[in-house]
Each structure stands twice: as structure tokens, then as C-alpha cells.
Amino acid sequence: MTTKQLSVVGKSFQRIESKAKVTGSAQYVDDMQFGPNLLFGKLKRSPIPHGLIKRIDTSKAEALPGVRVVVTGQDFPGLTGLYLSDRPTFAVDRVRFVGEAVAGVAAETRELAERAVELIEVEYEPLPGVFDPEFGASPEAPLVHPDLMDYECAPFIFRQEGTNISNWFKVRKGDMEAGWEEADIIYEHAYKVPQVQHVPLETHATVAQMDGNGKITLWSSSQSPFAQRNLIAKSLGISHSKLRVITPYVGGGFGSKAGVSMEGACVIMAMLAKGRPVKLVMTREEEFYTTFVRQGLTAHIKMGMTQDGRITAMQNTYYWDAGAYTEYGVNITRAAGYSSTGPYFVPNVHADSYCVYTNHPIGGAMRGFGMPEIHWATEQHIDRMATQLGLDPVDVRLLNCLKDGQETVTGMIMHPTGLSQCIAQAAEALDWGKASKPSAPHKRRGKGIAAMWKAPAMPPNPGSSATIRFNEDGTCLVNVGGVDIGQGALTVASQIAAEGLGIPFEDVRVNTVDTDYSPYEWQTVASRITWSMGNAVLRAATEAKEQIIDMVAEVWDENPEDLDIIDGHVVSFASEESIPVKNIVVYGMQKPDGTWIGGPVVGKGRFMPDYVTPLDAETGQGPRAVVHFTTGAQAVEVEVDEETGHVKVLKIVSAFDVGKAINPDLVRTQMEGGAVQGLSTALLERLVLEEGQPKNPNFTDYRIATAVDAPPEMVNIIVEVPQDDGPFGARGVGEHPMVPTAPAIANAVRNALGIEIDAMPITSEKVWAALKAKNG
């Protein structure tokens, strides 16, 4: 990295697509027009949580005029999955959760498709279900996947034969006996997190069409166009070159649109639709429990601390309510295991993270990928122990938090990190230690803090690539495979490209994804896009810039070292010559002898981390578990109504170490959005499941935070300790702001009232009940 002054990176440009969004002209999948040829798809779903399919009769549906396609699992029995291929597109002989697709219909109108689905008869033999992960992990539990060991599986996932455990991640580090011995107090407690839903405002939406050559195009509201192409092509046994995925604007994802959920069903129906396009859009109800949810968690935490607050040992057991299929979830439970200490130095660790099949909706990636759940437990636990010892929770965190060069839970050496600054600055901005006055006699105020860490959780080798091409007027097009799901990926890519090329930000445009034309990107997940795709973009820019400079140097007969591109002009520091790039990036340049060199400039770049190592299956130890950790902290102030239990969050201070803020305002808006999503899950959200039946799959009874529930004040602090292999030192921050919010609020509520809430969410009623219990 040069010390050159940055002119585009580090500035808060408005996002490049915002005008399309405020005028309503930005097109999302369901907005695209396919003409009167379009068929409407609908899925027949299981009404029971667990059972064998005895019979499916589709004849009445097929006989309904206007019905064009009827398909069941018998027609396409292939399995799919990101890390573990355990999931059929349509259930074949067994259903494992309420809402599982058992058949699909495509018809001339939506109403016809709905009617046809009702006409499909399915006979089930109900089986006993698993509705609690701890029970699910026990030997008494019925098996949800008797064929678990037959599935294709990533090498770092450890299934347990004859159980419902599809991954068991272990940490065995240090000497537990010595750790407990050294501790002055030992505290053990259990915490719970329910399944919640991502609630993107745009539900999952797809259209698929097959042409006469058998080539299928899938328009998909997706975070993962390439992963979808890969997984769907593999499960259908077709070539990747026969499947094209196009992703226009996406109305939010938060992880729910990563990997594959219902998209394969749309592709299958299109394959049978004789060339007609088929649209499949989830209703809000379907979105709530048939695509992905966040996994539930029961966490048992045992921690030892010395008198002065030093953590001596930690024993964590996680039972994940991972749902009916864990193809994606297995890796969440792995990430939880290798992050299980939270952002602290703990010499002695014993951790078990069990991914447990249940007959619940499918757990998938959600903003934070396991971290909000495990931090809910550890960040409350630390706080409670600090109080037990009469210590300040901020001091205890500052004492234990990971510093550069310390060993993490898996034995990796911590890279330079601004964690301590984040904790200290968040506390300071909240006037930590100073009580403020409640607004009414029946209200109490409290402050709480929580710290966090999170690494991009992914396979060791997820790749990114980018190309840059110039137009005749000197503007350029950056092609990437990452998706802007609202986080600002397109804008950040533009800024990195502009900076790398030396041209104005306004001259760079970035396309949305089309797998036939966009270069490969693994997935838009794990807060990895700014860092990984950003690296690819910067390399592409660097290559394009070299092409331009080499050409000019040759024509001017100068040393390329003396040339640079500044504000769209190639300038020479030696000769003080200058030429606009627009004159030369397509047509090349004429040499003094009258001949031409150069030609259309095309830069390409790719990036893949090449240093991540495997971890030992028995101890979870290894030199480099992950690429890096983004760290941070949030401090919150709440006011609680002692009579109703209502918690009002007055202020959230967020401080995160982003390495380098490519666009500071985009970083701040991630912090604000993440904090409010965190607040919403903390106070309101739970998918209520009774024997596997969802009871609140609608906004009437699954409430999310509104503008009134959001805090009136949010402060965002950007800490920048550069990432050695990040573009301009950047690392990601998309997920992190929702990780510490819930425990920070819980800690603030405890500070206000002296009550402890073990199970999320902190509803008014729970606070009320806890107060009653406390006051007798």
C-alpha cells in the first residue's frame, strides 16, 4: 500500500443506485416483465412436522384446465446443500418440517395455481418429532435423517452416526482443571435463543425459463447467484453452462437469500413448462417458515474468573436448533465453536457445538452467522460475573479482550485489532458510569455494554473475481459477482475501482450480476465482499491502469514509474505531459511513427485467501482458523417501565474496527441498521412453534421494530486498524453491528432493574414476570 493520498476511498459518496430506488424504477425480480406467456408457480406444503409420505395423488390438479406443470419429489429426487447434501427440492418419501415442499404446480393464473395445489392429495404417516435440540441430541430422540452418513459432506464437518447431530465441533485447549483451580469464582448458567426470521422486505422471488437448447435462465432475488447455479446444476445433474442466474436489485437478504432455498423448485417447474417462464414468489407467510430462519440455541456456559476479573477457563456447550435440514447450518455451528470464547483471551477452553436436527424450519445463515446467538450467552455471562465480583463490566472486558499477538480459542495469533479502542470509546460515548434521570417515577434507566468478534465464516478457499472495461468516453464498467443487497456493495466497488484507476468516482459504473457475464464470486455473505471482492476489483483496476500507463510510456518514450493517472488523466511527473484517458482507453494511441498500440483496456483481478489451515478434529486447534476477525462493541442505554416491563432503548453507541472505511457513511448506515435489527430481535422477535407448527407467520403477531421502537439516538464510531490483506486496509462490517446489541440491551436491563433474562426476546411480559419474581 502506498502512502499516496486517497481521493475516492474514504469519502462518503451517495450510493450509486439510490436515484433508481427513490423513484421506484429500480427493478427487483417480481417487477420484471415476462408477458402473457408467464406461468405462476405454487408449492404444495406439508402440514405436519414429521412423517412418511404414503401417497401423492396429483391427478385432480393435472386435470384442472389451465394447469401446465405438476411435479413431485419422485420426478427430481436429487439432494443439495452447501456443506452437507441433505436436502431435496421436493420431499421424496419423508417430510421433516411444517411447510416443506412436497409438490409444485405452474398454471396460467395465480388463483389456478392455488386451486391446483389444494387439489393435490397427500397421505402421510405421522412420525414422532424433535422439537428441542437438547432432546434431539439425546439417544431417545427419533432420527430425523436416518441416512445422515450417506450424504455428501465437507471435510471439516463432523457427523455423528446414529444421532441427530450433523456436526460436532470441539475445542479442547489448555488445562481445564488448572483453569477452574485458578478461578476465584465459577459461574454456570444456561441461555436460550429462539428461531427468528430475517424478514427481508422483499420475499424470495424467482422466475425461470428454459430455451429450445435446454439452457435455463433463473432470475433470482439472491445473495448467491453463483452458488445457486452451482448447487442447482449439481442437484439436477446439468452442466453449469446450461444454467444462467440473473440477479437484479435485491430487497434485503440478511443471509436468508444465501445458498439455495426455493429456487430449485422454480427451475424444475420451468424445465417442464415447454419454454414458458414460471414465476415463484413467496408470500409473507411462506417467507416466515419455509425458506430459512435463524437457528435457535440452547447454550450452557461455565466460566471461571479471578478476583480481579481475569477469565481463567470457559466451558461452553451449544445445542443448536438447526431445523429439518442443516446443509448450511452445520457451518454456523462450526463458526460458533471456533468463536466460542467471544473476543477474549481464555487459556483453558472446553467447547462443544452440536448441530442438531429438529422438525423445525430450516436454520440458515443470518446476519452474524451464529455470533448474535453465542454472544447473547457469553456477553451476559461475563457481565453477571463482573457484577458478582463488584467489578465494572467495561474494565473486565478491557482486561480480557484479545490484544494483538494473543492466542485465540483455536490457537490462531490475533492480528492487529482495535477491539480495546472500540470498547473504551463506546463506553465513553455513552457516559459510562454516569446515571441519567428517568423520565417518570415508574421508570428506571440502565446502561449496558457488549463486545463482539466475528470472522467471515466460509470454506477456506472462497474466491472473488472482477473485470474492468472502458467505454469510449473514458467511463468504465466494473463487473463483479457480488450482490448489492442494500449494504452498498456496488458503491464500494466503484470507489475501489476509481481509486485504483485514478479516475473520478462518477466515471465508474458497476453492474448487477448475471452469471453468464459477471465474473465468479462465491457468495455475498460473511461480510466478505468489501474485503474479498474489493481485493479483486483493486487488482483489476491495477491491471487496467498498468495497461494504460505502459501504453502511454511507450508512446511518450518515458519510464512508466514516472507516470500516474490522476482524475482521469495520465500525467507524467518527468515531462509534465498529460492526456485524458478517454482518448486512449478504447482506440489505443498513435506512436510518433504513425502506427497504433494499445486497444480496448480490460483489467481483471482475482482474490482467494491461501493461508487458512484446517483445525484438528479433536481439539479444534490449528494455526489459522479464519482469515481475520472484525471486532467491536456496543453500549446502550435503556429506560424500563417497572410496571409494564416495557423496555425503551434510548441510545445505542456502536464502535467497530473496520480496518479502513472505504465509504464512512455506508459503514455508519450498516451500524445503524444492524443495531436496530439487533434491537428488534432482542425485544420482540420469536417464531412461535408449537409441536413444529408456526403460530405467528405474519406481521400481526411477529412484530418487528418500527420507527417508533428504534432508538432516538445512535452514535457510530469508526475505528480503523488496517487489515494487512484488505483493499486499502478494509475489512467487512455488514453483520457485526447486530451481534452485540441483544446482550448489550439485556445487560442494560439488568443494570436498570437487577433482573436477568436468559431467553431472548426480552418482551415486556418477561420483564414484568422477572420483576414480580424478584419483588416476591
Partner 1 sequence: MKHDINLTVNGELYNLTVESHHTLLTILREQLVLTSVKNGCSEGECGACTVLFDGKPVNSCLVLGAEADGHEIVTAEGLTINGQLAPIQQTMIDLGGTQCGYCTPGIVMASFALLERNPNPTEQEIREGLVGNLCRCTGYTRIVDAVREAARLQRTDMTL
Partner 2 sequence: MQAFDYVKAKTLEEASALLAEHNGDARPFAGATDLLIRIERGFLHPAKMVDIKNLPGFRAINALDNDWLRIGAAVTMNEVVIHRDVESRYPLLAEACQSVASYQLRNRATIGGNICNASPAADSAPALICYGAEAIIHGPQGERRVTVEDFFQGVGQTALERGELLTAIEIPPPPDGAVGRFLKLGRTTVGDISVMNVAVLGWPDENAASGASWRIVLGSVAPTPIRAPQAEKLLAGDTSPAGIEAAARAAADTARPIDDIRASAAYRTDMVRVYTRRGVEHVLAELNY
In angstroms and rounded to an integer, the radius of gyration of the C-alpha atoms of the chain is: 27
Q: Find the part of the chain contacting partner 2 (CB under 8 A) among 136-144, 295-303, 415-423, 702-710.
A: 702-710
For residues 171 and 318, give the distance between their C-alpha atoms in angstroms, rounded to a whole number: 12
For residues 612 and 528, give the distance between their C-alpha atoms in angstroms, rounded to a whole number: 15
Closest to partner 1 by CB, 94 vs 294, is: 294
> With contact defined as beta carbons under 8 Å apart, do 655 and 449 qualify?
no
Alpha helices per DSSP H over 237-318: 263-271, 284-289
- Among partner 1, partner 2, ligand FES, none, partner that 763 touches (CB below 5 to 8 angstroms by kind): partner 2
Closest to partner 2 by CB, 388 vs 706, is: 706
Minimum distance, C-beta of residue 643 to partner 2, in the bound complex (Å): 5
Of the candidates 469, 467, 491, the one whose C-alpha atom is nearest the C-alpha of residue 480 is 467
Q: What cell does 43 get? A: 408449492
Strands 476-480 and 464-470 turn out to be antiparallel
Residues in the chain: 776
Decide: is 398 part of the binding site for partner 2 (CB under 8 A): no
Decide: is 108 part of the binding site for partner 2 (CB under 8 A): no
For residues 452 and 751, give the distance between their C-alpha atoms in angstroms, rounded to a whole number: 20
For residues 729 and 3, give the distance between their C-alpha atoms in angstroms, rounded to a whole number: 12
The CA distances from residue 174 to 250, 301, 312, 350, 351, in Å, are 46, 17, 10, 9, 12
Q: Find the part of the chain contacting partner 1 (CB under 8 A) among 149-157, 560-568, 672-680, 683-691.
A: 672-680
- The number of angstroms, rounded, from the C-alpha of 93 to the middle of its chain's C-alpha atoms is 32
Q: Which of 31, 550, 709, 758 binds partner 2 (CB under 8 A)?
A: 709
Decide: is 769 part of the binding site for partner 2 (CB under 8 A): yes
Place of cell 419429489: 73
**Residue 716, beta-bridge partner list:** 654
Q: Which of 62, 75, 108, 665 binds partner 1 (CB under 8 A)?
A: 665
Query: By CB under 8 A, how many residues form the interface with partner 1?
Result: 54
Q: Which of 307, 439, 559, 644 binds partner 2 (CB under 8 A)?
A: 644
For residues 459 and 462, give the distance between their C-alpha atoms in angstroms, rounded to a whole number: 6
Identity of the residue numbered 312: T
Decide: is 189 part of the binding site for partner 2 (CB under 8 A): no
Q: What DSSP assignment string belongs to 111-150?
A: HHHHHHHHH-EEEEEE------HHHHTSTTSPPS-TTGGG
Report phi then psi at 427, rounded to 5.
-60, -45
Minimum distance, C-beta of residue 463 to partner 1, in the bound complex (Å): 25
Q: Find the part of the chain contacting partner 2 (CB under 8 A) among 76-84, 237-245, 698-706, 723-731.
A: 698-706
- Among ligand FES, partner 2, partner 1, none, partner that 203 touches (CB below 5 to 8 angstroms by kind): partner 1
For residues 253 and 347, give the distance between their C-alpha atoms in angstroms, rounded to a whole number: 37
Decide: is 22 part of the binding site for ligand FES (CB under 6 A): no
Closest to partner 1 by CB, 485 vs 589, is: 485
Q: What cell does 561 get? A: 514509474
Q: Find the part of the chain contacting partner 1 (CB under 8 A) among 168-176, 450-458, 516-524, 665-673.
A: 665-673
Q: Which of 201, 707, 708, 773 binds ligand FES (CB under 6 A)?
A: 201
Q: List the interface residues with ligand FES, window 443-482 (CB under 6 A).
A: none
- Among ligand FES, partner 2, partner 1, none, partner that 23 touches (CB below 5 to 8 angstroms by kind): partner 1
> With contact defined as beta carbons under 8 Å apart, do 286 and 99 qualify?
yes
Of the candidates 585, 580, 497, 721, the one whose C-alpha atom is nearest the C-alpha of residue 13 is 497
The CA distances from residue 28 to 80, 199, 529, in Å, are 26, 16, 21
Decide: is 24 part of the binding site for partner 1 (CB under 8 A): yes
- Among partner 1, ligand FES, partner 2, none, partner that 485 touches (CB below 5 to 8 angstroms by kind): partner 1
Closest to partner 1 by CB, 565 vs 682, is: 682
Place of cell 421436493: 90
Decide: is 646 part of the binding site for partner 2 (CB under 8 A): yes
Q: Find the part of the chain contacting partner 2 (CB under 8 A) among 242-250, 488-496, 620-628, 692-700.
A: 692-700
- Among partner 1, partner 2, ligand FES, none, partner that 189 touches (CB below 5 to 8 angstroms by kind): none
For residues 404 and 421, give the distance between their C-alpha atoms in angstroms, rounded to a whole number: 12
Decide: is 194 part of the binding site for ligand FES (CB under 6 A): no
Decide: is 673 part of the binding site for partner 1 (CB under 8 A): yes
The mark string for 661-690 relative to partner 2 (x by CB under 8 A, - otherwise) is -----------------------x---x--
Of all helices (H) and strands (E), which one includes residue 114? helix 110-119
Strands 311-323 and 348-357 turn out to be parallel
Decide: is 700 part of the binding site for partner 2 (CB under 8 A): yes
Decide: is 734 part of the binding site for ligand FES (CB under 6 A): no
- Among ligand FES, partner 2, partner 1, none, partner that 3 touches (CB below 5 to 8 angstroms by kind): none
Closest to partner 2 by CB, 67 vs 533, is: 67
Place of cell 405454487: 42
Of the candidates 595, 606, 659, 635, the one whose C-alpha atom is nearest the C-alpha of residue 716 is 635
Three-state secondary structure call for residue 148: helix
Dihedral in degrees, nearest 10, Cα atoms 637, 365, 325, 695: 40
Minimum distance, C-beta of residue 653 to ligand FES, in the bound complex (Å): 23
Of the candidates 141, 79, 114, 502, the one whose C-alpha atom is nearest the C-alpha of residue 319 is 141
Dihedral in degrees, nearest 10, Cα atoms 104, 110, 115, 121: 10
Decide: is 325 part of the binding site for partner 1 (CB under 8 A): no
The mark string for 480-519 relative to partner 1 (x by CB under 8 A, - otherwise) is -----xxxx-------------------------------
For residues 146 and 96, give the distance between their C-alpha atoms in angstroms, rounded to a whole number: 12
Closest to partner 1 by CB, 70 vs 266, is: 266
Q: Find the part of the chain contacting partner 2 (CB under 8 A) among 129-137, 150-158, 287-295, 761-769.
A: 761-769
Measured from the Cβ of residue 613, the count of other Cβ atoms closer than 10 Å reads 14
Query: By CB under 8 A, how many residues form the interface with partner 2?
Result: 23
- Among partner 2, ligand FES, partner 1, none, partner that 18 touches (CB below 5 to 8 angstroms by kind): partner 1
Q: Which of 486, 598, 729, 734 binds ligand FES (CB under 6 A)?
A: 486
Of all helices (H) and strands (E), which one includes residue 443? strand 443-454
Closest to ligand FES by CB, 252 vs 255, is: 252
Decide: is 703 part of the binding site for partner 2 (CB under 8 A): yes
Closest to ligand FES by CB, 252 vs 645, is: 252
Decide: is 737 part of the binding site for ligand FES (CB under 6 A): no
For residues 452 and 747, give the distance between their C-alpha atoms in angstroms, rounded to a whole number: 14
SS3 content of the chain, % helix, strand, coil (to 5): 30, 25, 45
Q: List the interface residues with ligand FES, window 240-259 (CB under 6 A).
A: 252
Minimum distance, C-beta of residue 499 to ligand FES, in the bound complex (Å): 26
Place of cell 472495461: 469
The CA distances from residue 30 to 37, 204, 213, 227, in Å, are 15, 9, 25, 21
The residues of the shown chain that bind partner 1, judged by CB under 8 A, are: 14-15, 17-28, 30-31, 33, 198-203, 249-254, 283-284, 485-488, 665-666, 669, 672-677, 698-700, 704, 706-708, 710, 712, 714
The residues of the shown chain that bind partner 2, judged by CB under 8 A, are: 111, 114, 643-644, 646, 648, 684, 688, 695-696, 700-701, 703-706, 708-709, 763-765, 768-769
The residues of the shown chain that bind ligand FES, judged by CB under 6 A, are: 201, 252, 486
